[in-house]
């Protein structure tokens, strides 16, 4: 038994993946450096690429290779997919405490879904590697061609497909995209500080609560469900 057993299947939580459940920074950045090299440039390791974790792939790729005066975005995206599938996806450790929390939530009546800009098929493979795919009622994400990765539209699609109630659903993520996706659909957005957005970005995005560490997330979920019940 856990505190989450008091809820019903009318309650739901949408989880971002990168920077929220898994620490994908190393895999993503190393793959980007491979792409830059494959395009004929010398990767500048002094450039801070932390920000790339979160935005849709084509959007971030245009900016990353643009710094090298390159505009071959379609080729770069194709290379990224190949390199990431070969090596990057294996460099995705789960943040401490997150596996335990997800398994506890999965044993409760609360329905769990991913809402990731990664292709849903890739998200499923990564979560399966960590033994976590069964924690979720469904894995939602972008299509295999990376379309459909914008969070406001994605969250709206998940709500419609799964029959979710906005006043009983939370969105959890580490970037402003997650918070804007939540608020565009009248959900409360929980911002996590162990990811890649940071306090300033999440505060400016209007996160309803900021959570310092994964060990604090369970309490934040309870507090936000309570806030929803009061309104």
CATH code for the domain of 19:
3.40.50.1000
Q: What local confidence, expressed as pLDDT, does residue 221 receive?
A: 98
Per-residue pLDDT at 49: 85
The helix (run of H) or strand (run of E) holding residue 111 is: strand 111-119
* Residue 117 and residue 35 share a domain: no
**Domain match, 83 and 101 both:** no
Do 106 and 192 belong together in one domain?
yes
Output the domain CATH number for residue 51.
1.10.150.240
Residues 97 and 210 in one domain: yes
Is 18 among the residues known to form the active site?
no
Question: Which residue, 36, 64, 90, sits at the end of a domain?
Answer: 90
Using an 8 Å Cβ cutoff, are 140 and 122 in contact?
Answer: no
For the chain, helix (H) and strand (E) counts, in that order, are 9, 6
Q: What pTM did the predictor assign? A: 0.88
Cα-based distances in Å from 197 to 25, 105, 172, 192, 218: 12, 25, 13, 8, 20
Is 32 found in the same domain as 19?
A: no
Using CA atoms, how far residue 67 sits from 9, 27, 132, in Å, is 47, 20, 37
| 106 and 149 fall within a common domain | yes
Task: Identify whether residues 187 and 144 lie together within a single domain.
Answer: yes
Q: What is the 3-state secondary structure (H, E, C) of 177-205?
A: HHHHHHHCCCCEEEEECCCCCHHHHHHHH
Q: Which of 5, 10, 16, 18 is catalytic?
A: 16
What is the total count of domains within the chain? 2
Question: What pLDDT tens digit does each residue of the chain (231 aa) get?
Answer: 789 999 999 999 999 999 999 998 889 899 999 999 999 999 998 888 877 876 778 888 999 999 999 999 999 999 999 999 899 888 899 999 999 999 999 999 999 999 999 899 999 999 999 999 999 999 999 998 888 889 999 999 999 999 999 999 999 999 999 999 999 999 999 999 999 999 999 999 999 999 999 999 999 999 999 999 987
Query: CA 208, CA 187: separation in Å to the nearest integer?
Result: 10
Residues 53, 127: one domain?
no
Residue 22: strand pairing partners: 18, 94
Question: Are 57 and 126 within one domain?
Answer: no
Q: Which of 167, 148, 166 is nearest to 157 (CA)?
A: 148
Provide the residue range defining the domain that includes 11.
3-23+93-230
Is there a single domain that holds both residue 18 and residue 31? no
């Amino acid at each position: 038994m856990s505190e989450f057993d008091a809820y019903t299947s009318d309650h739901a939580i949408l989880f971002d993946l990168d920077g929220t459940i898994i620490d994908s920074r190393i895999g993503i950045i190393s793959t980007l450096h491979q792409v830059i090299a494959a395009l004929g440039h010398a990767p500048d390791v002094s450039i801070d690429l932390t920000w790339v974790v979160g935005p849709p792939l084509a959007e971030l790729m245009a900016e990353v290779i643009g710094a090298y005066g390159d505009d071959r975005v379609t080729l770069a995206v194709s290379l990224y997919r190949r390199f990431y599938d070969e090596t990057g996806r294996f460099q995705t450790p789960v943040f401490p405490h997150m596996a335990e929390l997800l398994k506890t939530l999965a044993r409760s009546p609360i329905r769990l879904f991913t809402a990731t800009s990664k292709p849903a098929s890739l998200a499923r493979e990564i979560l399966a590697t960590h033994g976590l795919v069964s924690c979720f009622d469904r894995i939602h994400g972008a299509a295999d061609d990376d379309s459909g990765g914008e969070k406001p539209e994605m969250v709206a699609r998940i709500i419609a497909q799964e029959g979710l109630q906005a006043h009983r659903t939370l969105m959890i993520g580490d970037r402003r995209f997650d918070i804007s996706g939540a608020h565009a659909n009248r959900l409360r957005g929980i911002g996590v500080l162990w990811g890649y957005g940071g306090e300033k970005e999440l505060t400016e995005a209007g996160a309803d609560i900021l959570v310092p560490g994964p060990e604090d997330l369970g309490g934040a979920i309870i507090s936000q469900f309570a806030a929803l019940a009061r309104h």
